Amino acid sequence: MTTSPARPLLKEHSMTLGYLLLFAVLSFSVENFFSSANIVGLLLSVAQIGMVACTMMFCLASRDFDLSVGSTIAFAGVLGAIVLERSGSVALAVGGGLLAGALIGAGNGVLIAYLRVNALIATLATMLMVRGLAFIASQGQAVGIADERFFAFGDTVLLGLPLPVWMTGVCFIVFGVLLNHTVFGRNSLAIGGNPEAARLAGVRVERLRVWIFLLQGAVAALAGLILSARITSGQPNAATGFELDVISACVLGGVSLQGGKARIFGVVIGVLIMGTVENVMNLLNVDAFYQYLVRGLILLAAVLLDQLKSRHA
C-alpha cells in the first residue's frame, strides 16, 4: 500500500492550513475583523506572547518549562518604572529590567540544572517570590511613568506597525535561526530527546539549561518593559496567567511537552491562534468569564493534541 506524497506535507502543515481557514471564515463572518485597524490591534495584542513564546519554545524543547514568566514581566515593568522615576535615565531603566529578568532566569536554571529541583516546583516558587517582590517594590501600587522617551517602546510606529510588533518579528527570526542553524539549537533539542545521550555526546547539559532559562528571563523582562511603556505604568499585578497562554501557544504550534521537538513557524501559528480567538471574543463582546473557559479549553486541547502526536510517533 503506497502513501500519497501529499499526506506527510498535509500532516506537517495541518495547523497552518487550519489557521488560514479559520482566518478566512472569521474575515467573512465577524464584522470589522478584517479591518486594517483590527489586524494591527491583533498583532499588537500578541506581541508579548510571541516574544516569550520564542524562549519558552527552547525550555519545552529541552524538556523543561517556566511558570515564572508572568511574574518576571510584572517585576521588570515595576523595576523599570522605579529606576526611571528615580534616575531619569531610560537606558538605566531598560538595563535594570533586563538584568533583573536575566538573573531570575539564571536562578531558575541553577535550581533546576545543578540543584536538581523539579522544574514545576522551582518555577512555581520563583513565580510566587518574584510576584511578591513586584508588590513589595511598588508597595502594592502602580508606578506611573511620565517620561515620553520611554513610551517609544510601546507607541512608535514604523511602516504602519507598532514597534512591539517589529520586535516580536525580530525575536521570531533570531530564535528561529538559533534553533535551526546553530549548535545551541541542536543541543537544546538533543537534551529534550535524551539528556543522558546528549551528555555522553559531549553536550554540557547543565550549563546549556542555565543559558536557556537566562534567555527566557531576559526576553520576559523585555516584554515587561514594553508592556509598561504601552500602559504608561509598572503594574505589579500585570501578566497574571500569562505563562499558560505562552505554553498553550507553543504546544499548539507543535512544540512537544515530552521535549526534543520544536518548530519556530509552528510557534508563530500557535501565537496567532491564541490571539485571534481572544480578538474575536472581544469583537463579539463575549463575557470575560467565558473567555477564561475558552482559554482553558484551548490549553486542554493543546495538551491532548501533543499526547496524540506522541502516541502516534
- What are the pLDDT digits (tens) for 79-100? 999 999 998 889 999 999 999 9
Four-point Cα dihedral 207, 71, 299, 260, nearest 10: -10
Summarised one tens digit per residue, pLDDT across range 194-214 is 888 888 888 898 999 999 999
103: pLDDT confidence band, cut at 50, 70 and 90?
A: very high
Residue 304 has what pLDDT?
Answer: 80
Residue among 5, 295, 310, 62 at smallest CA distance from 185: 62
Residue 3 has what pLDDT?
Answer: 52
Residue among 67, 75, 166 at smallest CA distance from 118: 67
Q: What is the pTM of this model?
A: 0.90
Residue 113 C-alpha cell reads as 540544572
151: pLDDT confidence band, cut at 50, 70 and 90?
A: confident
Residue 69 has what pLDDT?
Answer: 94
Lowest mean per-residue pLDDT among 20-24, 52-56, 135-139, 206-210: 20-24
Above 60 in pLDDT, residue 117? yes
Q: Which residues of 162-179 are buried (b: 16+ CB within 10 A; e: fewer)?
A: bbbbbbbbebbeebbebb
Separation between Cα atoms, residue 32 and residue 283, nearest integer Å: 8
Asked if residues 101 and 72 have their Cβ atoms less than 8 Å apart, the reply is: yes
The amino acid occupying position 157 is V
pLDDT more than 70, % of the chain:
94
Distances (CA, A) of 57 to 25, 61, 151, 171, 307: 29, 6, 29, 12, 17
Residue 193 has what pLDDT?
Answer: 84
1: pLDDT confidence band, cut at 50, 70 and 90?
A: very low
Residue 31 has what pLDDT?
Answer: 85
Lowest mean per-residue pLDDT among 124-133, 135-144, 249-258: 249-258
Count of beta carbons in the 10 Å neighbourhood of residue 121: 12
Mean pLDDT value across the chain: 88
Distances (CA, A) of 18 to 24, 165, 253, 269: 10, 23, 12, 10
Phi and psi angles of residue 256, each rounded to the nearest 5 degrees, phi first: -80, 135
